Amino acid sequence: MIDDAIRGLVEYGLETGLIEREDAIYARNQILDVMGLSEYREPEAPRAYAGLEEILKELLDDACARGLLESDSVVYRDLFDTRLMNCLMPRPSEVNREFWKRYGQSPETATEYYYKLSQDSDYIRRYRIKKDMKWTADTRYGRLDITVNLSKPEKDPKAIAAAKLAKQSGYPKCQLCMENVGYAGRTNHPARNNHRVIPITVNGGEWGFQYSPYVYYNEHCIVFNGEHIPMKIERATFVKLFDFIKLFPHYFLGSNADLPIVGGSILSHDHFQGGHYTFAMAKAPIEKHFTLEGFEDVEAGIVFWPMSVLRLRCGDSDRLVELGDRVLAAWRGYSDEAAFIFAETDGEPHNTITPIARKVGDKFELDLVLRNNLTTEEFPLGVYHPHQELHHIKKENIGLIEVMGLAVLPSRLKKELADLADFIAEGRDIRADEELAKHADWVEEFLPRYAAAGVTVTRENVNGILRTEVGNVFARVLEDAGVYKCDENGRAAFGRFLASVGFAEA
């Protein structure tokens, strides 16, 4: 039976183009070595497999049964099956050569090749990604994307304990370092045997281009500094963004902010995220235009969006770099007590920017999202952070992806929303359930609106209603994260900041 699975993995490599026919025997022998086997017999009636997941499961089950894995858990299985997939992988130099060869045809051709390779190699585990819950929700700000993340496997207690006891290593320094290419991994660091990176030049420096293993949207990529240096939003940030956009004009690229609370999860390594996807924020219109003396060639305006976004548009990206730097410098030191904006308290800086760059037609665009990480006794997790009444749905930081209109919600919501649907449809007491009680205020707020509109909540429509209301919560999450609100006072305060930069309403 194991010969069937070995043959199946080799055939998978041939079908996907990871290997060629003359590589088949070599690949088989590499797989045998990883499996701790020295013999192979070609199956007389080869078994047909439904897909890669089934092949790997059979190989992993066999390896577990023969004691090749320390434990039959997702952590050790992932470390092992990544070694198996590496038996089918081309060398980094081959991937790089093929990428730039295809780039000669078009940037799109190159990224299509590389994205397919990243999936076929199981670096992006398709069969896990498809488990994520995804839907859209129509709001006053447009159609928002909602995801409940189920593709990141939870570590079992034994693996967690092993990770704590594991020797702390400075190699690789983090999960974004170039040294991850081909790295076997350990209990406290993911396996990357099948990982390949495309080297690119950004702002005169060596950078890497790769895809996220947890693709939240189409061709979700990561662009990272070849050096392990902290993130910093500065003038050079805008240069780097547009250097990448000029290489890959069909992609957008953005950065998390560089301060805690409003920043990303990895602030220790300079990096960006991008991809081939148009978010709701990119579709949002400019609601009020502004001009700035000396930058009459740049279209500027406040975007109709729950967060505070200044959009700059020009055919010359250098002009956007100059103006972006001017806005950033002004925002770093800007305070407006009436709007509860403070540049710093007790020497701690609070103001920063989440920037996003793209090309639309023959124009470059730079969206500057104003961020502030001030905390108070009332809002200890952040004034411009999801407020406490929304934590039953979303408590985590609002990073780049969510700023643009895609909610990444915790996996617990899969079960909680399903249970809520049952409770609502059956008229049961939500407050009586320890796990669901946190949602009771929310449900009691939105159900009367449906009753007033003459909508009867039933088993058939309750899931759709819950998804709509989760979308509404996410819109409110973004409103909380916005330093200026989408109302008359908020727009007036936003205008005061722009006036301090030198902008005048057009």
Measured CA to CA, the distance from residue 318 to residue 249 in angstroms comes to 16
pTM: 0.94
pLDDT of residue 263: 75
235 confidence band (pLDDT: 50, 70, 90)? very high
Query: Cα-atom radius of gyration of the chain, to the nearest Å?
Result: 25
What are 52-95's pLDDT values in tens digits? 999 999 999 999 999 999 999 999 999 999 999 999 999 999 99
**Which whole number is the average pLDDT over 16-41?**
98
266 confidence band (pLDDT: 50, 70, 90)? confident
Kindly report whether the peptide bond that precedes residue 153 is cis, defined as omega within 30 degrees of 0: no
Contact 386, 481 (CB under 8 A): yes
pLDDT of residue 169: 74
Q: What is the DSSP secondary structure assignment for residue 477, as one 8-state letter?
A: H
**Which whole number is the average pLDDT over 386-415?**
95
pLDDT of residue 148: 96
How many residues are listed for the chain in this entry? Answer: 506
What distances in angstroms separate CA 262 from CA 203, 234, 335, one per listed residue? 25, 16, 18
Q: Which residue has the tokens 């992932």?
A: 78
What are 253-263's pLDDT values in tens digits? 999 999 989 97
Q: List for the chain the helix, strand, coil content (%; round to 5).
A: 40, 20, 40
DSSP string covering 46-75? PPP-S-HHHHHHHHHHHHHHTT-SSSSSHH
151 confidence band (pLDDT: 50, 70, 90)? confident
Flag whether pLDDT at 166 surpasses 70. Answer: no
Hey, how many other C-beta atoms are within 10 angstroms of the C-beta on 228? 17
Phi-psi region of 314 (alpha: psi -120 to 50; beta: other; left: phi over 0): beta
Q: What is the DSSP secondary structure assignment for residue 149, as one 8-state letter?
A: -
For residue 376 the two structure tokens come to 């108070």
Measured CA to CA, the distance from residue 224 to residue 174 in angstroms comes to 12
What are 422-456's pLDDT values in tens digits? 999 999 999 999 999 999 999 999 999 999 999 99
1 confidence band (pLDDT: 50, 70, 90)? confident
Residue 256, C-beta contacts closer than 8 angstroms, at least 6 positions apart: 231, 263, 264, 267, 273, 354, 399, 400
User: What amino acid occupies position 48?
Assistant: A
pLDDT of residue 240: 98
Q: What is the DSSP secondary structure assignment for residue 81, as one 8-state letter?
A: H
**What residue ranges do the domains of the chain occupy?**
2-68
The better pLDDT of the pair 495, 152 is held by 495
Helix locations, 231-369, DSSP H: 235-247, 280-283, 317-332
